[in-house]
């Protein structure tokens, strides 16, 4: 018995934050039913490349779910949802504030029918506040909260992160955490609740060190000038002779001593607090004198917190991740199987490794109430 077996989730979300949240619920045993637009469905279905009928992005994020298709703007079709809403434990939506109310599907109305419902709204700026109606994407949320301003290149310009940090770490993950807390509270009180998950709000914990520095010293952190933004030789990326890179993070003295010994750094430069720029330049010169492969060999078995920057292809082939079983689960589509998206759930909470597909648009419309005659 998985921890969420018997829990029914109605998923009104599209693209990434909500679908990844409900994927984790599905992987923990919940029945997740996507509510999609007829003929089009979740916008992610149309992305490239394809896996079966739809995009691999959609397939990865919606493995093991069900799908019903109906026009939420049509009152008669909305009426077909009531049996599902009455039986649901969780509802997840990520429309702009006010949209679900205009559709007659806001929390207050649904609570009167189903007081045990946990209703989770995921948005960029939350249900209240001056920016609640502003359109945005991941990069905008990073920019608004100051996080992007601390991620600068050598010229001082912000760089585009390779991961959708706000969508996943500030949207999907907090949604799952709060849904679980709400279900625990419901077990005690018998009542559901409304959850307001704002991705911008949830980015500030990533800046804990910057907030602490600013509040205590009165000095705002500088991009490229702080311990974890490129201002220290102990936390930096260095280019190797063959054009690859070494990620060096020997922050603690015991690791720094080992690191300096491996690269043969001049003793006079090891006291890096005196002139961090000079030490960093010297370290860069040492790392740039040899290849990534040779540095990998030299650091092997050494406690120096230093690694060669891997490509994604190399990471997927790494013996460590293979041994951890991250890719034991499969996604099946047509006549193909690919590894399922690893999710941050303990193995004990997931079904046994195996293959599962993703839903065709409207494949589960039989779950809806019959459509009323005009």
Please give the positions annotated as active site: 137, 167
Pairwise CA distance, residues 189 & 29, whole Å = 23
Pairwise CA distance, residues 247 & 299, whole Å = 12
Pairwise CA distance, residues 266 & 78, whole Å = 73
**Contact residues for 321 (Cβ-Cβ < 8 A; gap 6+):** 315, 327
Name the nearest CA neighbour of 138 among 109, 171, 111, 114: 171
Separation in Å, CA 292 to CA 44, 80, 232, 297, 310: 38, 61, 21, 9, 10
Name the nearest CA neighbour of 81 among 36, 44, 123, 112: 36
Pairwise CA distance, residues 147 & 164, whole Å = 13
Can you tell me which residue has the tokens 């804990």?
Answer: 208
- DSSP per residue, 154-208: TTS-B---SS-HHHIIIIIHHHHHHHHHHHHHHHHHS--EEEEEETTGGGGGGGH
No. of H helices and E strands in the chain? 15, 14
Tokens encoding 349: 């909470």
Separation in Å, CA 117 to CA 174, 185, 188, 193, 229: 18, 12, 14, 7, 43
Regarding beta strands 330-333 and 306-308, do their DSSP bridges make them parallel or antiparallel, or are they unpaired?
Answer: unpaired
92 phi/psi in degrees, rounded to 5: -125, 130
Tokens encoding 85: 């809403």
Name the nearest CA neighbour of 322 among 344, 342, 302, 337: 342
Separation in Å, CA 67 to CA 2, 19, 181, 358: 22, 12, 26, 9
């Amino acid at each position: 018995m998985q921890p969420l077996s018997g829990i029914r989730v109605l998923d009104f979300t599209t693209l990434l934050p909500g679908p990844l949240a409900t994927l984790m619920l599905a992987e923990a045993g919940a029945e997740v039913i996507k509510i999609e637009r007829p003929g089009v469905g979740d916008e992610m279905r149309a992305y490239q490349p394809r896996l079966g009928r739809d995009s691999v992005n959609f397939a990865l994020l919606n493995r093991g779910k069900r799908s019903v298709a109906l026009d939420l703007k049509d009152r008669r079709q909305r009426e077909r949802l009531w049996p599902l809403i009455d039986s649901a434990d969780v509802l997840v939506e990520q429309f702009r504030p006010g949209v679900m109310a205009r559709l007659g599907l806001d929390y207050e109305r649904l609570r009167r029918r189903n007081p045990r419902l946990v209703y989770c709204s995921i948005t960029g700026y939350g249900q209240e506040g001056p920016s609640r109606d502003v359109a945005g994407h991941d990069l905008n949320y990073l920019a608004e909260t100051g996080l992007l301003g601390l991620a600068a290149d050598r010229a001082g310009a912000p760089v585009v992160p390779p991961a959708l940090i706000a969508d996943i770490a500030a949207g999907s993950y907090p949604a799952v955490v709060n849904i679980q807390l709400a279900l625990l509270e419901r077990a005690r009180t018998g009542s559901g609740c409304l959850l307001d998950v704002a991705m911008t709000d949830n980015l500030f914990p990533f800046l804990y060190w910057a907030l602490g520095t600013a509040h205590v010293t009165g000095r705002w952190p500088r991009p490229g000038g702080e311990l974890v933004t490129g201002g220290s030789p102990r936390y930096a990326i260095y280019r190797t002779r063959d054009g690859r890179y070494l990620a060096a993070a020997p922050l603690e003295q015991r690791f720094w001593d080992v690191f300096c010994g491996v690269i043969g750094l001049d003793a006079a430069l090891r006291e890096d607090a005196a002139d961090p720029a000079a030490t960093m330049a010297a370290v860069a010169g040492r790392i740039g004198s040899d290849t990534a492969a040779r540095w990998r060999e030299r650091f092997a078995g050494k406690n120096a917190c230093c690694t060669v920057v891997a490509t994604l292809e190399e990471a997927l082939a790494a013996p460590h991740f293979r041994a951890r079983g991250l890719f034991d689960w499969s996604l099946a589509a047509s006549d193909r199987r690919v590894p399922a998206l690893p999710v941050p759930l303990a193995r004990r909470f997931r079904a046994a490794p195996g293959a599962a597909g993703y839903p065709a648009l409207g494949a589960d419309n039989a779950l809806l109430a019959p459509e009323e005659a005009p």
